[in-house]
A and B are shown apart, each in its own frame.
Chain A
Amino acid sequence: MRLQPLTICEKAVITEALKSGKRFDFRHLEEFREVRLIVGAEVGTAICSIGNTKVMAAVSAHIAEPSPMRPHKGVINIDVDLSPMANYANEHDRLGSKGMELIRLLELIIRDSRCIDVESLCIRAGKEIWKIRVDVRVLDEDGSLLDCACLAAITALQHFRRPNVTLEPHHTLIYSEYEKAPVPLSIYHMPICTTIGLLDKGQMVVIDPTDKEAACLDGSIVVACNKRKEVCALHQSTNLVLSTKQIERCVKLAMSRAEALTVVVSDVIKQDQKERSAYKRPEGFAITVPELILTAGTAAARQLHPDVKEEPMEEETRQPRAYQPSVILN
């Protein structure tokens, strides 16, 4: 189905509002939307939402043969799926230019920034390596898609545990999670993306624009940086000419954002680890998603016939309340 374009009067209203420093969701120009982050019951799954944008990332690993050029390095593959769920203009199994851009940028941010130690993914040089696959599934889009996808992917990578292996002279033993504890990936740093919209030839910045706002902007710049104040990637969407000062300002904004979000990601991972090490069965998305992410304005998750339940009642009443990380930055 075709996308409905933004009407001219709508565009005029939004542009006028932005120029006077007002936005339709009552934010300031330099205010981010709320970030919500949930990890699943399976290792290596995470859902991230920024405002209405929702992205799910799942990480999986399997053993493969390395390329002859890099015999002792693991491989990280990134796959993006833009289904009609995210936007009815999308088609199943077809990426389009938006999806291609997203894939390339995620590759740039996650693979080419070398945040994951690929050498630790080697099992037997030239023979066996771990191939890590990051599947990014866009569930709903409303601006800042790259920020959300990147955050979900990074959280999923942090959450992921690969099976433990031991090397025997002629074969490799792969252990299940019950025999030997799975191993986390070694991650050097967490690149965090920030989308900054530009208005008035880059004179004004509009942080974290929604879809409708993005349609009224002159362009946007995406800065990926980590908490050590290193810029991992910089991407500009249109051909605006920006001065060094303007870019520096954007980078500064992105740095403070990256610092705050890094704390959120490590909090979520820590909380999850604590629960897992206490042998609590993680509920994952089934219970937490309706409460945390779905904000339809309707009543909370409904249940049918409490007597049909298999789980005991306590399971439901003690829900991980402290497990609700959300940040609003001013």
Chain B
Amino acid sequence: MVGRLREMRCEVSFLKNADGSASFSQGATCVWASCSGPGDVHASKANEEAMTLDVSYRTNCGDNKFHELNNIIQSTLSKAINLELFPHTSAAVTIHGIQDDGSIGAVALNGACFALLDNGMPFETVFCGVLVVRLKDELIVDPTAKQEAASTGRVLFSICRGSDGGPEVCSMDAIGPWDFEQLEAAWCYAQPSARAIFDFYRNVMQRKHSVDEQ
């Protein structure tokens, strides 16, 4: 098994117009994410009980109206943020996949979380994404594009931080045949990675809010 994350890099608040922005990369995979809101919403989309979330993952090429990642990101976001705090408003979350070198789903989730953190959204719990693939009966965490293409099964965990500070599965997207033991093993490998990502969130946000470093 290869239970390692590639090197993570992040830069926050670099876009002029968006309220919160982040450029996040894991190895050579890189996304730019932005979050604007809560702001006013068009009457047709307004929800009097909760904030309207407008999430879109944009690829480099082609039409972006529907993308398979939108679902998992949207459901994770609505769990991680207490939407009922802001009725009659909307927030737009955009994630541009700038460069894809594997595990783009996980990177997009992490980038989205950074953008929301940078915007100062009130979180119920922070979240992150970890992709685990099975390659010849071997589990690989955070695969490169080559490993991902050769894999026989993929599972994308969207992970929340539980009340005890440990990682908890928020949602999951599995492709390919998986039996229960394999999934459990994949989850075991994903946990330390999730902890590492949560620590990274803390580091970056501490850096951002510290006065003396700038």
Which residues from chain A sit less than 8 Å from chain B, CB to CB? 1-2, 40-42, 45, 47, 52, 54, 56, 58, 60, 81, 83-88, 91-93, 133, 135, 137, 139-142, 283-287, 289-290, 293-299, 301-305, 308-311, 316
Contacts and interface: CB of A to CB of B under 8 A. Distances in A.
Contacts of A305: 196
Contacts of B61: 58, 60, 133, 135
B99 A139 contact: no
Contacts of B56: 83, 92-93
A286 B25 contact: yes
Contacts of A81: 58, 64
Nearest to B144: A310
B36 A1 contact: yes
5 contacts: A135-B61, A284-B99, A303-B7, A304-B200, A308-B7
A306 to B, nearest CB: 8
A303 B99 contact: no
A84 B208 CA distance: 23
Interface string B186-214: 00000000001001100110011000011
Contact of A139 (B12, B96, B214): B96
B13 A84 contact: no
A290 B13 CA distance: 12
Given A47-B98, A60-B60, A133-B62, 19 more contacts: A1-B39, A1-B92, A41-B101, A85-B32, A88-B39, A91-B54, A91-B92, A92-B92, A139-B32, A139-B96, A285-B30, A287-B25, A294-B23, A299-B213, A301-B11, A304-B200, A309-B6, A311-B27, A316-B7
Contacts of B92: 1, 84, 88, 91-92
A50 B5 CA distance: 34
B207 A2 contact: no
Contacts of A60: 60-62
A310 B27 contact: yes
A137 B95 CA distance: 12
Nearest to A295: B14
B8 interface: yes
Contacts of A92: 54, 56, 64, 92, 94
B208 A85 contact: no
Contact of A85 (B18, B37, B39, B41): B18
Interface residues of B, number: 56
Contacts of A310: 4, 6-7, 27
B163 interface: no
A42 B41 CA distance: 38
Contacts of A286: 9, 25, 27-30, 99, 101
B77 to A, nearest CB: 15
Interface of B: 4-19, 21, 23, 25, 27-30, 32-34, 36-37, 39-41, 54, 56, 58, 60-62, 64-65, 90, 92, 94, 96, 98-101, 196, 199-200, 203-204, 207-208, 213-214
Nearest to A56: B98
A143 B90 CA distance: 26
A88 B17 contact: yes
Given A1-B36, A84-B92, A88-B39, A299 B8 contact: no
A285 B99 contact: yes
A96 to B, nearest CB: 13
B64 A93 contact: yes
A316 B7 CA distance: 11
Nearest to B34: A85
A60 B33 CA distance: 23
A309 B32 contact: no
Contact of B99 (A41, A309, A311): A41
A227 B203 CA distance: 48
B17 A290 contact: no
A2 B41 CA distance: 8
Nearest to A316: B7
Contacts of A83: 56, 58, 94, 96
